[in-house]
Amino acid sequence: MSALVLLTIVATLVTLSPQPPPAAPRAQAAPAAGNATTGRALFVSVGCYQCHGYEAQGSSATGPRLGPRPLPFAALSRYVRKPSGQMPPYTMKVLSDAELADIYAFLQSLSPPAATPSLLK
């Protein structure tokens, strides 16, 4: 068998080999795919800031601090979809999983709170 024939066979086999499955939709790749800048904008536009503050710093009267170390994405997502307390639920229609991943990235990107001086000093 000549090298050319062999090469042709190999090339044909490579072409015929099954294609890898399409990449998983972005929502399932959350939270790694999140964009913190988009997330910050969403945090304001869908209203999270109203209760959690512009920097997600929280307020004892309206809602807890959410960053910079938010709950694991799965738990956060579960809560946002089906809150058990005062917080209103956010359905997929209002906020997609991809958008929630962006918000998650924003929460992770926040700087830690300033150290509170100890009262016991």
What does the binding site for ligand HEC look like in residue numbers (CB under 6 A)?
Answer: 46-48, 50-52, 62-64, 66, 71, 76, 79-80, 83, 85-88, 90, 95, 103
Closest separation between CB of residue 117 and ligand HEC, Å?
25
Of 9 and 75, which CB lies nearer to ligand HEC in the complex structure? 75
Secondary structure (H, E, C), 63-107 = ECCCCCCCCCHHHHHHHHHCCCCCCCCCCCCCCCHHHHHHHHHHH
Closest separation between CB of residue 7 and ligand HEC, Å?
56
Of 29 and 76, which CB lies nearer to ligand HEC in the complex structure? 76
Closest separation between CB of residue 66 and ligand HEC, Å?
5
Q: Which residue has the tokens 């190999």?
A: 10
CB 81 within 8 A of CB 90: yes
Of 12 and 45, which CB lies nearer to ligand HEC in the complex structure? 45
CB 62 within 8 A of CB 50: yes
